[in-house]
Structure 1
């Protein structure tokens, strides 16, 4: 602190120096806290998406033949996708239950129970007995474990993403809003690399008998690491105070629906374009490829990993663009680009020589551009009192409506009427997104 040479200027008092020191310390501490929140969010979201993609890949490569050996590959895959969707049905129920746990016992207790349930149900799949030994009970056990995964994921909402956005500089909200979304490409890269290594380094028989179980053990270990990383934040007095200051506390669901029901319903439809694309570039093309005899699964997973790298770059780019154009504008532009892609996508998957590589790479790029801002654009319009609970509800409904049944519906329709159904499904999501953005703007104008 410089001292004025003007003899008439008052000398700094000891209390003034102490105030300056506290101000400097406080400013630096806020910056450090923002970085700590970002790290905690990325670790948490990466672990969640890793669990998600480990199951998703196994739902294509393992469960159709493991659980349904007496059916043809297509039918077995469709049955597998029915079980895949159970998590998205159970997730809103988990949110309702764990919001009440949060209100009664605190966020640390909620996260501990939810993440141990998530990790435990994921690890339990690794011990799934074969139908050859217990018959149809193997299918029932997988259904139970999959539903438990979704139920637990409903309790994994910790509010750190909203806290990150609320504490970010006003002109950098788009950049900080995209950071939690980086968990998706990171999680896919980890899961796909594990399965690519296993499928390329062991025989098909060994992989189907025991090799596929290894990634589910890894998922449990990653969940434990993520749990401690997040508890380190939410269980401390400092971050608890920040969460309370920003009013990121659980509110009874009935009150949220009564006060913001229309915003939540419309908000769930806003990200539908990118949520529909999410499973159509990750799960569906892998199934479409696996159903073709003689295809190189490990090679295709590596192409998808390259796509995830493209997605990472586009997610980061979305933050920069959103700070210039606005997040809603970017979502609208992203939906329009996905709409154009929906007319081209079927041609990249049609024909005996189609590899789907172009579909995957372009699809991942568009997904990153839209997905980077999908979580914060609508939730930012909710009053702070309802943002914590309302954001969880919007996310649960959006994933259920737009993504949960996408692999099942598109694969079934593709078998019946051809891959034109891929474009049709994407286009329906685009229409929902554009209409929801328009309705959301009208709701905001009405509320003000």
Structure 2
């Protein structure tokens, strides 16, 4: 085998090799991170799209269509409530049995919780038990996502040179648009080419089947890196081991709170362009849902380009400065953009394109923007808790709140949730600056 030149980002770390003895480099770590994140987001988007198109008819046929979607969004939020508990549970497994065991259990749990939804009986078949089973499976997804934190993104960020941290920070975020492109494309295919009766009878199940297969691929892609002795040594050397959740919360609660609120604008925007618009178009317009799913997939692809651009902009202007600027633009966007969804196909396209551009630039840098506040030996667990709480506060209830406000007060009112996220981000970044100045 030819000699491998060590990547400059890892110049002070021992050369890492996979189980076959082949040299690994940051690009291979990035591939593992992106595959893993894509599988997680694909599972979540499959559930989200089904919450609009499928569950109201199969699980909540006894209420109006709007109420059925609201009930589905309430169940959708359960995963975000469960994530912190999943982090606590699987951090314990990590400390006792290692990352390989933790990831294997978490990803198998995620894939199983997702695929079993496809076999869920309808409300007409088993009554309220269908609702409880759907809620239980959604909680299972949330627990598993909390446990799927592998620290590879942190390893990338900690090894990146000072002038390229924004570039490497955006890499893990690409999993979100990739997952949405695949999920939207699959639903668009089956929703568009199958008669309505066949789609609701069996066509909607196929994206859930695909989810399990993607999770298996993601598991092997991540284990290939995480279980090697060389990378175990790197995690230990970089002090990226799991620490006790209670101790981390007790000692660094201020940093966790700041970290959770700093990306609120990005995470609120996340579901305002990925989940909520689909519900509005399906419930209140005559637009073709299949066409909108295609628009959503194209928008996600544009968002991926914007995420890449965020890496360049962040390294030039600073990650926190970029987050602050995008939060300001998201606040402006919240005041008028939602009303575009009522302006036909042209309005929907404008909303989705500009929404995904803003989302991409912001979301690309929102993860770990204040992670440097944590000492290295607490950064692994601290970053996981920050991610869990940011998703909970910023995105967990966004589809429900946006649909509820728009239904009762009009589309413009849905922007209030988005505005609150933008304000939260700007205040958190300001408070973080004060903490650093005091330090």
The TM tier, using the shorter chain, reads: over 0.9
Matches of 1:351 and 1:309, distance apart in 2: 23
How many Å apart are 1:349 and its aligned residue? Answer: 2.6
C-alpha distance 103-203 of structure 1, shift in aligned 2 (>3 A): same
Verify the 8 A CA contact 2:401 2:414 in the aligned structure 1: no
Matches of 2:232 and 2:358, distance apart in 1: 36
1:38 matched to 2:17: no
Residue by residue over 1:63-113, the C-alpha shift from the partner in whole angstroms, topping out at 9 and shown as x without a partner, is: 011111121110111111111101001111100110011011101100011
Q: Which residue of 2 aligns with 1:3?
A: none
1:170 matched to 2:176: no
Verify the 8 A CA contact 2:281 2:341 in the aligned structure 1: no
Q: Which residue of 1 aligns with 2:117?
A: 125
Matches of 2:306 and 2:27, distance apart in 1: 21
How many Å apart are 1:422 and its aligned residue? Answer: 2.0
Matches of 2:338 and 2:136, distance apart in 1: 35
Task: Give the counterpart of 1:304 among 289, 296, 301.
Answer: 296
1:205-216 → structure 2 map (5 Å cutoff): 205-216=197-208
Query: The residue matched to 1:377 in structure 2 has which SS?
Result: coil
1:149 matched to 2:145: no
Verify the 8 A CA contact 1:96 1:253 in the aligned structure 2: yes
1:243 matched to 2:243: no
Matches of 1:422 and 1:132, distance apart in 2: 33
Q: Which residue of 2 aligns with 1:90?
A: 82
Verify the 8 A CA contact 2:259 2:368 in the aligned structure 1: no
Query: The residue matched to 1:247 in structure 2 has which SS?
Result: coil
How many Å apart are 1:235 and its aligned residue? Answer: 0.5
Unaligned runs of 5+ in 2: 17-22
1:389 matched to 2:404: no
1:341 matched to 2:333: yes
Matches of 2:334 and 2:173, distance apart in 1: 23
Q: Which residue of 2 aligns with 1:77?
A: 69
Larger radius of gyration: 1
Matches of 2:345 and 2:224, distance apart in 1: 51
Q: Which residue of 2 aligns with 1:60?
A: 52
Q: Which residue of 2 aligns with 1:16?
A: none
Q: Which residue of 1 aligns with 2:19?
A: none
Q: Which residue of 2 aligns with 1:198?
A: 190
Matches of 2:207 and 2:174, distance apart in 1: 21
Verify the 8 A CA contact 1:345 1:422 in the aligned structure 2: no
How many Å apart are 1:292 and its aligned residue? Answer: 2.8
Verify the 8 A CA contact 2:287 2:345 in the aligned structure 1: no
Matches of 1:270 and 1:359, distance apart in 2: 24
1:180 matched to 2:175: no
Matches of 1:78 and 1:271, distance apart in 2: 25
TM-score by length of 2: 0.94
TM-score by length of 1: 0.92
Matches of 1:372 and 1:353, distance apart in 2: 27
Runs of 4+ in 1 over 6 A off after TM superposition: 21-26
RMSD: 1.8
Task: Give the counterpart of 2:248 among 252, 256, 273.
Answer: 256
Residue by residue over 1:372-423, the C-alpha shift from the partner in whole angstroms, topping out at 9 and shown as x without a partner, is: 0010211133211110000000000000011101111111111111112222
Q: Which residue of 1 aligns with 2:223?
A: 231
Matches of 2:282 and 2:339, distance apart in 1: 19
Q: Which residue of 2 aligns with 1:358?
A: 350
Task: Give the counterpart of 1:160 among 143, 152, 157.
Answer: 152
Matches of 2:351 and 2:375, distance apart in 1: 39
Q: Which residue of 2 aligns with 1:429?
A: 421
C-alpha distance 151-336 of structure 1, shift in aligned 2 (>3 A): same
How many Å apart are 1:256 and its aligned residue? Answer: 1.1
Matches of 1:299 and 1:326, distance apart in 2: 38
Query: The residue matched to 1:291 in structure 2 has which SS?
Result: helix
Residue by residue over 1:43-75, the C-alpha shift from the partner in whole angstroms, topping out at 9 and shown as x without a partner, is: 100100110101110111100111111211101
Query: The residue matched to 2:366 in structure 1 has which SS?
Result: coil
C-alpha distance 316-243 of structure 1, shift in aligned 2 (>3 A): same
Task: Give the counterpart of 2:310 among 318, 325, 335.
Answer: 318
Task: Give the counterpart of 1:102 among 94, 103, 117.
Answer: 94
Matches of 1:353 and 1:418, distance apart in 2: 19
Matches of 2:244 and 2:345, distance apart in 1: 54
